[in-house]
Structure 1
Amino acid sequence: MNQAPGYPHPTPSLPFWLQGTRSSSLLKHRTTETLPERSKITIIGSGFSGVATAYFLLTGPNPPESLTILEAREACDGATARNGGHCRPDCFRAYPEYKAAFGREQALKIIQNEMDTLELVTEIIKKEGVNCDFWRGFSYDVAMDQNVADSIAASYKEFVADGGPVSGIVESILDPDAAKEATRCRLAVAAFRIPGASLWPYKLVVHLLKLCIEKHGLNLQTNTPVRRVVLGADGGWQVETDRGSLHTEKVVYATNAFTATLLPEFIGRMWPYRGQCSAVVPTPAYSGAAMLTHTYGLGYGDMVDYLIQRPSDGIIIFGGGSRAVSRERLRGNTDDSSVYPEISQALKTALPRYFEGWGEEASGEGQIHVWTGIMAHTREGIPFVGEIHDRPGAFILAGHQGHGMARIMACAKGLAALIQGASWESTGLPECFRPSHERMSVPGQ
C-alpha cells in the first residue's frame, strides 16, 4: 500500500450501533459556530483514540487551557462505531510473533498492555457511570481446524516457558470433545478460555465526549476535515481545514486508517483494511437461558471470525467472513459506504454451521443488519503511540490492527501523560509502540 488513503467516505453505511442515534445532540455538533483561531492542543479524530486522549488530558493533572477535536464526519462515526463491541485482550496467542520481532521483554509488555486496557476500561466505565451495556466475563479462542489448534498450543507453550502469566487467566481445553461441549461449537478442535468483555463502543465514547464538552470545556468541531498540518510561523502547528485554520501548540493524530493522508511518512507503514460485521437475532436455541455465556474468536486457516452476544437484548454481533473475497479487495479499501454481498452471505450462513443445534431460523430471526468499517493495519501488527520523530509537538495514536478496543484506553492514558511532559518509562507502554527514528527508518511496504 504505497499511496495516501485519502479521506473518509462522505456517506458511510449505517452500523447497528448508530441506528438509534438520529436524535443525538452531537450530530453536526460544533461547540462554537466558528473554528477557534487558537487551541493549546488539537486532536484530529473523534473516535475512541481521540476522545480517550482528550478525556485523560482534561481530567488529569494540569489540564490544557483549551482543547479542540476536529472530526471529518460525525462524532465517533469511524472504526469505533463500526467494530464488533469486543474488548478482549490477546493473553498469549500472538506472543511468538511479537517476540520474534521485538524480543521477549517487549512481547511480554505488549500482552500486559492489553490486560491493563481491560482493567482500565472497567475502571473508567465504573468511575464515570457510563451506560454502555458493559459486560465482563470470559471469551473462547476456538480452533476450528488442527493447524490452528497446534499453532495456538505452541504459542501458549512458548509464552509459559518465557514466564508469561497464565494461572487464573488462561484455561486450555485440548480434548476435541470437551472443546465442543464447552463452546457449543461443532467444529471445535481445541479451545482456550481467556478474560473478555463486551460493550456498546459508541455509547462509551459519546459519554466521555459529552463529559469533556460539558464539564471540561472541550471544543468539538464535526464535519471539519483537516486538509493539511504545517509548521506555524511562530512555532507550533497550523491546522488547515475547509472552514479555516487554527494554530495549536500540540497536535494529536487520532486518524487511524487515514493517517498517511496527513503524514506521508506513514505511507507503506500503515494502511486501511476494510472489515464487515453483522447483527443477528438468534434462534430460540441460543436465546434466554440458552444464550452464549462467553464471547468468541473462531479461528480457521489464517482467518478469525468473532462474536459477542449482547446480554441486554440477546442480539449477536458477528464479524469476519473475509475469506469470501480476496485480500486485495480489502487491503487499501476505504469505502465503508457499502458491503460485499459475498461476505454478507458468508456471515449469514456461518452461525448455523459453527454452532450445534442452531436450528431453523424463523421470519425475523437470523441476520438483520450488515455494515462495514475501515481498520488500520501496520507492518508490525502494533500501533503507533507517542511523539512523532522529527515533528516536535506532534503526537499519534493510530494503527490498531482491528484490535483497538483491547489497546486504546491504556495507550491513550499513556499518550496524555507524554503530551504533558511525562517520560516514556512512566507510562508503562511497550517501547516498540513509539514512532521512533529506528522504527520509521525501516522501509515501508
Structure 2
Amino acid sequence: MTEADYRGLSYWHATVDDELTPRSPLDGDTDVDVAIIGAGLTGLWTAYELQRRDPDLRIALLEKEIAGFGASGRNGGWVSALFPRSTASLAAQHGREAALAMRRAMIGTVDEVGAVVEREGIHCDYVRGGTVVYARSDAQWADARSQVAEAREFGVDALELWSAERVRAAGALGAVYDPACARVHPAALTRSLARIVESRGAVIHEQTEVMTWAPGRVETARGVVRARHVIAALEGYGAGLAPLRRRVLPLYSLMIATQPLSDEVWQQLGIEHGQTFSDGRHLVIYGQRTADNRIAFGGRGARYHWGSAIRPEYDRVDGVFAHLAATLHELFPALPELSIEHAWGGPLGVPRDWHASVHYDPSSGLGRASGYVGDGLSTTNLAGRTLADLVTGADTELTRLPWVGHRSPRWEPEPLRFLGANAGLLAMTAADAEERATGRSSLVARVMAPLIGH
C-alpha cells in the first residue's frame, strides 16, 4: 500500500499531520533485547515505557503495515476508564479489593495519557471532557440509576446522574455522566508515539509480516529476529496467527464522520469540546465532537466472518454506514441533513469471557496483552506500563492487578464460533427491540449479561 492508500483507511488517517510512507522493512536476521510484534498502541506504549525504565534496551517493533494501521488508528477516540468487565463482575471473580485496584488503575490511566501528551508535546486534540451516556427509555433510565448506585457502592468511579433538563438527545429521561474520559485524535496519538520511540533508539520495521514466534525468536517473511523478550501486541489481528488463534475473536466496528457543523448546531446538541457520547442501548454506539467540529460516530453491528477472517472489504459495509447515519438523526433530530464525508471500520479483539489480560512469562520471555473489546485506547497505556514492569522484573501495584495472568477460555472451533458470535449480535439487537416494545429491561440481555462480563 502507498501513502495515499493509508490515507483512505479512516478520517483519522486522512487528517493526521504525518507522512504515512512506510518505514524500511526488516532486512535479514537481527538481534535485539525486546521484539514487539505489532506497532499499534499496545506495542508503542510498551516500547515507550521500556525506554523510560531502561534507555539502553535494544527494541524492535515488527509491523505488517504501518504504525497505527489497525484499531489504534481507526477507533472512536475515547481515552476512557472503561474496562470490558464491570466492577461487580471483577469483584465476583477476583475479590472486591482487586476489582477496586483495577478500577483505580483504569481511572488513573485517563490522566496518565494526558500527562504523556503534555510532557511529550503531542498534538492529538486531547481534551478531558467526560462522556455522556443518554438514557432514552424507561429500561435505560433504570439501568442508568443502577449504574450510578453501583458506582457509589464501590466508591471509586465518580459517576453522576443527570436529569433530562441537562441533555438534548431525543427522548432522553436523563443520562449518566462519567468525568473519566477524554477526546483524542487516535491516529495523531499513535503516529506521534511511533516517532518518539524511534527518536529514542527503537527500530520500527514496517511492511514486515510476522509468521510465528517462540521463546527467543520471531520469524518474519524478511528474516528472523532473535530477542530475550518477545511481546505480542496484535489485538484482533492475533486471531490470524497460530500462537494466538482462538485466543481472541476479531469483531468489526464501523464509523462515519460528518462534515464540520456550526457552533450553533453544537449548542443545540449540548455537546462540548472534549465530550464523548453514547446511549444505553445494548448494541453499542459511540461518538465524539472532533476538534474540527465534526461528529465522529460509530457502532457495532457488522457481522463476524467465518474463520476469524480479516479482509479490507470487511472495513466498509454500506448497510451499517446507513444505519449509523440514521441513528445519528434519531438521536439528535435537530441535526441538519448530514454529508457523510468519511466511512470506515476495522476489527477489535474479543476474548471468550470479555476479560482483557496481560501476560508475561519470565522463564520463556514471552508476553502479550489483548482483549480490550473496543475499550483499548487507554487500556493499551496501562498494558504498556504493566508489561514494562514485568519485563524489567519490577514488583509493582500494576503487576499485581487482577488482569495480569488472567486466562480467558479459548473460543470454540468453527462452526460454533461463527454461530455463537453472530447470534450474540442478533441477541443484542433483539434486546433493544424488546425494551422498545415492553418498556422493561430485556430478558434477552439478562441471559446474555454473564457472557459479556456483566
TM range (shorter): 0.7 to 0.9
- 2:404 is aligned with 1:434: yes
What residue in structure 1 maps to residue 322 of structure 2?
345
Equivalent residue runs for 1:249-328 within 5 Å: 249-262=228-241, 264=243, 266-281=244-259, 283-284=261-262, 287=265, 292-293=271-272, 294-300=275-281, 302-310=282-290, 312-320=291-299, 322-323=300-301, 327-328=303-304
Aligned partners of 1:149, 1:368: CA distance in 2, in Å? 33
- 2:9 is aligned with 1:17: no
User: Which of 350, 375, 379 is equivalent to 1:403?
Assistant: 375
Greater shift after overlay, 201-210 or 145-154? 145-154
Q: Identity rate of aligned residues, in percent? A: 24
- 2:360 is aligned with 1:387: yes
**Cα shift readout 1:36-83 (whole Å, capped 9, x = no counterpart):** 5101111000011100110111122x2343110000111210111110
- 2:100 is aligned with 1:124: no
Paired residue total: 403
SS of the aligned residue for 1:407 comes to helix
- Letter in structure 1 aligned against 2:250: P
Q: Is the 8 A contact 2:240 2:309 kept in 1?
A: no
Per-residue deviation, 1:409: 1.1
Aligned partners of 2:312, 2:159: CA distance in 1, in Å? 36
Q: Is the 8 A contact 1:52 1:205 kept in 2?
A: no
SS of the aligned residue for 1:135 comes to coil
Equivalent residue runs for 1:169-248 within 5 Å: 169-173=158-162, 178-179=163-164, 181-195=165-179, 196-214=181-199, 216-231=200-215, 237-248=216-227
Distance 1:368 1:72, change over 3 A: same
- 2:158 is aligned with 1:158: no
Distance 1:267 1:330, change over 3 A: closer
Which runs of no fewer than 5 residues in structure 1 stay unpaired?
Answer: 1-9, 232-236
**Cα shift readout 1:106-126 (whole Å, capped 9, x = no counterpart):** 322232222011010011001
Per-residue deviation, 1:93: 8.9
Per-residue deviation, 1:219: 0.8
What residue in structure 2 maps to residue 234 of structure 1?
none
SS of the aligned residue for 1:137 comes to coil
Q: Is the 8 A contact 1:109 1:429 kept in 2?
A: no
Per-residue deviation, 1:399: 1.5
**Cα shift readout 1:370-406 (whole Å, capped 9, x = no counterpart):** 10111001123222213059x6201112211100013
Q: Is the 8 A contact 1:285 1:357 kept in 2?
A: no
Per-residue deviation, 1:410: 2.0
Per-residue deviation, 1:91: 8.9
Aligned partners of 2:140, 2:305: CA distance in 1, in Å? 25
User: Which of 7, 23, 39 is equivalent to 2:32?
Assistant: 39
Aligned partners of 1:329, 1:102: CA distance in 2, in Å? 33
Distance 1:59 1:281, change over 3 A: same
Return the TM-score normalized by structure 2: 0.81
Q: Is the 8 A contact 2:159 2:176 kept in 1?
A: yes
Q: Is the 8 A contact 2:84 2:354 kept in 1?
A: no
As a proportion of its length, which structure holds more helix?
2
Aligned partners of 2:317, 2:202: CA distance in 1, in Å? 38
What residue in structure 1 maps to residue 342 of structure 2?
369
Distance 1:21 1:73, change over 3 A: same
SS of the aligned residue for 1:385 comes to strand
Distance 1:17 1:154, change over 3 A: same
Aligned partners of 2:353, 2:379: CA distance in 1, in Å? 15
Which runs of no fewer than 5 residues in structure 2 stay unpaired?
Answer: 413-454
**Cα shift readout 1:292-344 (whole Å, capped 9, x = no counterpart):** 213112222x222111001x310111001x34x5x445993523434111110
Distance 1:342 1:388, change over 3 A: farther
- 2:74 is aligned with 1:82: yes
Per-residue deviation, 1:240: 0.9
SS of the aligned residue for 2:66 comes to coil
- Letter in structure 2 aligned against 1:204: L
Distance 1:340 1:332, change over 3 A: same
Distance 1:151 1:106, change over 3 A: farther
Distance 1:65 1:285, change over 3 A: closer
**Cα shift readout 1:167-217 (whole Å, capped 9, x = no counterpart):** xx32112xxxx32x3221013233111112111111112212112212x11
Distance 1:392 1:304, change over 3 A: same
Q: Give the root-mean-square deviation of aligned CA atoms.
A: 2.7
Q: Is the 8 A contact 2:29 2:225 kept in 1?
A: yes
Q: Is the 8 A contact 1:93 1:156 kept in 2?
A: no
Distance 1:249 1:92, change over 3 A: closer
Aligned partners of 2:326, 2:411: CA distance in 1, in Å? 38
SS of the aligned residue for 1:223 comes to coil
Q: Is the 8 A contact 1:142 1:299 kept in 2?
A: yes
